[in-house]
A and B are shown apart, each in its own frame.
Chain A
Amino acid sequence: MTATMTQCLLRLVEEDYTLADYQSDIAPRWCAGCGDSAILTAIQRLCREENLPPEKTVFVSGIGCSSRLPHYMNAYGFHGMHGRALPVAEGIKMRRPDLHVFVTTGDGDCCSIGAAHWIHAIRYNMNMTVLLHDNQVYGLTKNQASPTSPRGLQTNTTPRGACLEPLNPLSVTLGVANVSFVAQAVDWIPGLLYDIIAQAHRHRGLAFVRILQRCPEFMDHFYDDAVRDPTKTRILVHGDGLRLSPEVSRIYRNQEAHDPLDMARARALASLGDEIPVGVLYRDPSVPCYDDLRAGERPNTPDLIRTVLDEEFDKVTIWPQIGATPLGAE
């Protein structure tokens, strides 16, 4: 409403952020070659391009290598409990809808111990960006199988090879009521990684991005095939989804035009066996957001809270009756 004047005055003090403005004093402690670094860079670039003020941006995570990301961002951060990044982020969003909320979580953090929160967060569809760093293994605790580990993977907890089929985070997410944005990215195509995270950030609702992330420490050469052979990656393009730069288009010629509103095709793509779909699988901006639905007519100011509480207490208050004879006085 008063936008014009305030905006003019804000423009007086507008800052142009650089990447360094989002880098914290702590140097990342990830292994060399770890895909988490690529994701961190993509996020920092996004913050810079979108001019997100660091003091208006929050990164929430659980526990894991990936969950260390908030430490490396110069912004607000909450390095939470294992599996509990999403509920914390929801609380922040509820109370401070003006903040840009990002969640970084690992495949163990999200799909194992945090699975219940994950499902409900998708259903709540609150306005935030969720990045699932999926390296298909527990990295921080040094090589245990995660729910997304491929069958047969030998780890400390599965010395004879994982015996179950992995859980597919894309299919699971696409199956939850109120899902509004599902995308997949890979850490080794930085341009697309950036574009996909940017689209996720601009989406109104919960944007879920699964990022296939290399862990050279425990899953060395696991993605080599896909990294070396561009035909193994199927890029989903659409006027409403990804538009490729000529550079990417030249290398990745395996492309499919996919309408992000086409749920049936999105599900089929999610379970593609031999190729890795990269792009926006599903997007429906019309899905209502829990934070909007619950916003209420008036903000809970201290005055309002006091009034409502008083009203509630008054319902059970017994008011002394004026002029009544005290008990036992007759």
Chain B
Amino acid sequence: MAQASMPLARPTDTPDAPEAGSAPEAVALRPALFARYGALEQLRYDFPLVLVEDDGDGPVLQPLTQVMDAIVRQTAAPGPAGEALRQLVLRLEDAIRQRVAGGESDTLANLCRTCAADLLAASQEPPFGPTATNLDRAREALHVDGLVIDCDGATPKAVLAHAWKSVHAAKAKEFRKKIDGLILRLTDILKADFTRSDEAHTPAALESAIGASYGAAFDFHALSRVLSRGRAGEGLPKERERRIHWVLFVLRSQRFYGPGRSSERKPGQPEPHGFIFESCAAALDAFRERLPAVLEFVKALTIAELEIENKYRAELHDPVFERFDESDLSAEQLALLPASLVCLRDGRTDTAETVQAFEALASGLSIKVLIQTDDILGGTSPEPSRTAFGVGSARLAAMAMGLNSAYVFQASSAHLCRARERLIAGLRHDGPALFCVFSGAVETAPHVAPYLLAAAATESRAFPTFSYDPSAGPDWAARFDLTGNPQLTADWPLHRLEYQDQAMQRHGEEVAFSYIDFAACDRRYARFCQPGAEAEWGEDMVPASACLESTPEANGGRRPYVLTVGPDDELRRTVVDEKIIEAARRCNDAWRRLQELGGINNSHALRLLARERAVWEAEREREAPPPGAPEAAASAVPTVEPPAEAEVAEVAEPAAAGDGPWIEVSRCTTCNECTQINNRIFVYNDDMQAEIVDPDAGTYREMVEAAESCQVSIIHPGQPRNPDEPNLEDLIARAESFN
């Protein structure tokens, strides 16, 4: 193979090549686009990652760079004045990164402390110098803490377990708020009952209630007599009291969540249950074992809610709670309880476990399963892969979307932080969830950092990021989310690669980053890759991504290649075998299926669109006005709706019932004037508005006087009904203005 002494075709913009010592054996290829990321520990990216400790309101995961940037924003003055502080914070960040890369595992606060001490020692400044002051300021502005982790084989489990704990803590908070609220209201009921009891009204009880300071001012025996005499009603029925005590006991002794602050110091309180399991079988067993406690708790909860509404009716509700069993548990009730977490690692856990995981996911229970995979390519031999169903671990998530109620999430380690909201949504989801995470810690590609491999898996569509949330809506558009992948609408993302040739001339070209680039990193695939230095490049070579659409025959024997670099950063065209091209085609096919699910290049939609367009064009052809025809559109200006007045006018004046008396009932103000004049003529209806129920239950005089005293003038006396009533003439005249 080409030697380092040869003139190099070298990508420009390359940090120093790794030291010769770190170069692995003969063919350790990396995609050319990786040349820029030679020494990861010198770059600022998503890792190290801070697993932020809080109770679920915060960001849960935060890249160290973000934390440090926030410190700079908060503390450093703009412009040159803040430059020293800015530089110092960056050096602090760098020191932390080096330590984490060196395998140190500690919290951010501790790392900050040790690294700051190192920086201070290195500065050789006297005490209280500028470095010390700036470091103090920076550390004061540090408001998040948590374990700092790097990207390696342990990352997926660490991240998921941490996120689960966060969500669990938030759920615990919600739960305690709800349960404590119920406990408070129930104890209030008991307390109110007690304050009305004989026991509470004994002179001694009253005295202790008032307290010693004012005790002398009271005659507690007299007070006791007065209170006992004036007591209204009975106390709580014994049965209700017993029920409330039972509910309180169950709510207080539940073991789903810890007690939180309020009863930390209670001795003898049983430990809360654990919810992290080694296997799905263990999780399901635990569920079955705890089911009676779940049922009892849910029963107590429901009774509590009825009791505080004062709506528990023994004759109706007792039978319901006697029959109460598993089938009565609703999703809402179960959602209140913790979700279980099972972390599996493909290749390490039994294949049978994967099968069981699918069963657990299909059960609808709130079980969260992580399937970590460290190898998505699998061996090169045609034998079936180790993973269940022979589908390869890269397709597990896609399969799980068929399970209806399961939330499905897939991402590589490199994208976990960016996709954290969807990750957390999966943990919050009221039901099962599957998290497929590719760690990047591939044994057969030890020369590429796990972060880079993980990122490459996403970039090359070998392991796309996506999520499926069955609770987000009724259709795929609402449920499926493919964002987070680069250049979503393309088959492969395109990037610009710049390099120098042998003659030190700069070149640039658009290069696709495909599955082939990803596979080329893997030692197992080395035998299908033939790297060639610049001198060996020939006219018969074509970029491999261009060959994917066509058959080998159609390529006319041209040799497909991808651009790679070796440890020396020399650019090579690596000619790849048809076997890899085949695999890339399968990968592309899977990606296109995901695209369609995500509404991109959806074949149904495209067909429909084409058909509609054809129809539309045909119609336009037919309807096209003869040239020069006057614009018809002007007459089509929409007219404004007639004003609402019209609608109002339609409501007829309430018709007077002939000569009889009547009231505009809906305008009555319940003022009692008319009813006080005669409460047999004028009677309030169900809305407390006066109606004339019996016009003959009084005199015409009363009718007229009522009309006169009605301040809103809505009583219309009509004509007299008894012609023999005295002074009719005068009354008729007075009634005139009200009729």
Chain A residues engaging chain B, CB cutoff 8 angstroms: 1-6, 9-10, 12-13, 18-19, 28, 30, 32-35, 37-38, 40-41, 44-45, 53, 55-56, 98, 187-191, 214, 216, 224, 227-228, 246-247, 249-250, 253, 297-304, 306-307, 310
Docked Cα-Cα span, A216 to B676, in Å, equals 15
Chain B interface (Cβ < 8 Å from any Cβ of A): 173, 176-178, 180-181, 183-185, 187, 260-265, 298, 301-302, 305-306, 308-311, 313, 316-317, 320, 328, 330, 332-333, 335-336, 644, 647-651, 653, 666-673, 676, 686-689, 709, 711-713
A122 to B465, CA, bound (A): 51
Instruction: Knowing A246-B648, A298-B176 are in contact, say whether A190-B668 is a contact too (CB < 8 A).
Output: yes
Closest 8 CB pairs of A and B: A304-B262, A38-B669, A246-B651, A41-B688, A41-B670, A303-B262, A6-B305, A37-B670
Contact partners of A189 in chain B: CB under 8 A: 667
Question: B658 to chain A: closest CB distance in Å?
Answer: 21
Interface centre among A9, A34, A55, A214 (most CB of B within 10 A): A9
What does DSSP make chain A's interface, helix, strand, loop or mixed?
helix
Closest B-chain residue to A14, C-beta based?
B311
Given contacts A297-B177, A301-B184, contact A2 B672 (CB under 8 A): no
Q: Which residues from chain B contact A297 at a C-beta distance below 8 Å?
A: 173, 177
CA distance A44 to B672 in the complex (A): 16
How many Å from the CB of A229 to the closest CB on chain B? 11
List residues of chain A with CB within 8 A of the CB of B264. 307
Smallest CB separation, A175 vs chain B (Å): 31
Bound: A224/B713 CA distance, A = 11
Q: Which of B309, B313, B328, B687 contacts A5 (CB 8 A)?
A: B328
Q: List 13 A-B contacts (CB under 8 A).
A: A2-B301, A2-B336, A9-B311, A9-B316, A28-B672, A32-B709, A188-B711, A189-B667, A191-B666, A298-B262, A301-B184, A303-B262, A304-B261
Which residues from chain B contact A247 at a C-beta distance below 8 Å? 651, 666
* A5 to B180 Cα, complex, angstroms: 20
Report B-chain residues with C-beta under 8 Å of the C-beta of A98.
185, 308
Contact among B185, B332, B647 with A2 in the assembled complex (CB-CB below 8 Å): B332
Q: State in angstroms the CA–CA spacing of A6 and B177 once bound together.
A: 18
Smallest CB gap from B686: residue in A: A19
Which residue from chain B places its CB closest to the CB of A8 in the assembled complex?
A: B320
B interface: dominant SS: helix
Q: Is the CB of A301 within 8 A of B262?
A: yes
Q: Do B711 and A301 have beta carbons less than 8 Å apart?
A: no
From A4, A5, A216, A304, residue with most partner B Cβ within 10 Å: A5
Residue of A nearest to B177 (CB): A298
Question: How far in angstroms is the closest Cβ of chain A from B706?
Answer: 11
Contact A298 B260 (CB under 8 A): yes
Whether B648 lies near A37 (C-beta < 8 A) is no
Contact A13 to B184, CB < 8 A, known contacts A33-B709, A298-B261: no
Nearest CB of chain A from residue B293's CB, rounded to whole Å: 16
**Would you call A33 and B184 a contact (CB within 8 A)?**
no
A190 touches B711 (CB 8 A): no
Whether A190 touches B667, Cβ cut-off 8 Å, given contacts A45-B688, A307-B265, is yes
Using Cβ atoms and an 8 Å threshold, which residues of chain B touch A307?
261-265
Question: What residues on A are CB-neighbors of B689 within 8 Å?
Answer: 41, 190
**Residues of chain B within 8 A of A40, CB atoms compared:** 670
A187 & B669 in contact (Cβ 8 Å cutoff)? yes
Across-interface contacts of A301 in B (CB, < 8 A): 180, 183-184, 187, 262
Q: Please tell me which one of the listed residues A13, A19, A299 contacts residue B688 in the complex, with CB atoms under 8 A apart.
A: A19
Query: How far is A35 from B673 in the complex, measured between Cα atoms in Å?
Result: 11
Residue of B at shortest CB range from A7?
A: B305
A68 to chain B, nearest CB (A): 15
**Inter-chain contacts of B336 with A (CB < 8 A):** 1-2
* A252→B264 CA distance, assembly (Å): 65
Are A5 and B330 touching (Cβ within 8 A)? yes
Q: Within the complex, which residue of B649, B687, B712 is in contact with A41, where a contact is CB–CB below 8 Å?
A: B687
Q: Across the interface, name the chain B residue whose C-beta is closest to A15.
A: B311
CB atoms of A9 and B180 under 8 A apart: no
Residue of A nearest to B669 (CB): A38
A300–B188 Cα distance when bound, in Å, is 11
Q: Is the CB of A2 within 8 A of B298?
A: yes
**Contact at B332–A55, with CB atoms within 8 Å?**
no
**CA A13 to CA B305, docked complex, whole Å:** 13
Q: A106 to B298: give the CA distance in the assembly, Å.
A: 48
Task: Assess whether A300 is in contact with B184, with CB atoms less than 8 Å apart.
Answer: yes
Inter-subunit contact B180/A304 (CB<8 Å) = yes
- Give the distance to chain A from B222, nearest Cβ to Cβ, in Å: 26
Q: Collect the chain A residues with CB atoms within 8 Å of residue B333's CB.
A: 1-2, 5
Residues of A within 8 A of B676 (CB): 32
**Structural contact, A19 and B302, CB atoms closer than 8 A:** no
- Output the nearest chain B residue to A307 by Cβ-Cβ distance: B262
Q: Is the CB of A44 within 8 A of B688?
A: yes
CB <8 Å contact, B688 and A227: no
Give CA–CA (A4, B36) in the complex, Å. Answer: 57
Please give 8 more A-B residue pairs, beta carbons under 8 A apart, in addition to A188-B669, A190-B689, A191-B667. A10-B306, A28-B672, A32-B671, A190-B668, A214-B671, A298-B180, A304-B261, A307-B261
Residue contact A32 to B180, C-beta cutoff 8 Å: no
Query: A228 is contacted by which of B178, B260, B713 (Cβ under 8 Å)?
Result: B713
Closest beta carbon of chain A to B82's beta carbon, Å: 36
CA distance A306 to B264 in the complex (A): 11
B712 pairs with A227, CB closer than 8 A: yes
* Inter-chain contacts of B644 with A (CB < 8 A): 249
Closest to B328 in A: A5
Q: Are A35 and B671 in contact (CB under 8 A)?
A: yes
Alpha-carbon distance A273/B239, docked complex (angstroms): 63
Chain B residues near A1: list those with CB within 8 A: 178, 332-333, 335-336
Contact A299 B265 (CB under 8 A): no
CA distance A4 to B328 in the complex (A): 11
> Given A2-B336, A9-B302, A38-B669, are A246 and B647 also a contact pair (CB < 8 Å)?
yes
Whether B330 and A4, one on each chain, are in contact in the complex, defined by CB atoms closer than 8 angstroms, is yes
B683 to chain A, nearest CB (A): 14
Q: Flag if A13 contacts B316 (CB, 8 Å).
A: yes
Q: How far is the CB of B96 from chain A (nearest CB, A)?
A: 33
- On chain B, the residues within 8 Å of A187 by CB distance are 669
CA distance A41 to B670 in the complex (A): 7
**Residues of B with C-beta under 8 A to A10:** 306, 309, 311
Given A6-B302, A9-B306: A216 and B317 within 8 A (CB)?
A: no
User: Which residues from chain B contact A253 at a C-beta distance below 8 Å?
Assistant: 648
When chains A and B are docked, how far (Å) is the Cα of A34 from the Cα of B676?
A: 13
Candidates A2, A33, A250; contact of B671 at CB < 8 Å: A33
Q: Report the minimal beta-carbon distance from A93 to chain B, rounded to whole angstroms.
A: 15
How far is it, in angstroms, between the C-alpha of A228 and the C-alpha of B688 when the chains are bound? 22
- In the complex, residue of chain A having the shortest beta-carbon distance to the beta carbon of B645: A253
In the assembled complex, the CB of B328 is this many whole angstroms from the nearest CB of chain A, namely: 7
Residues of B within 8 A of A214 (CB): 671, 711
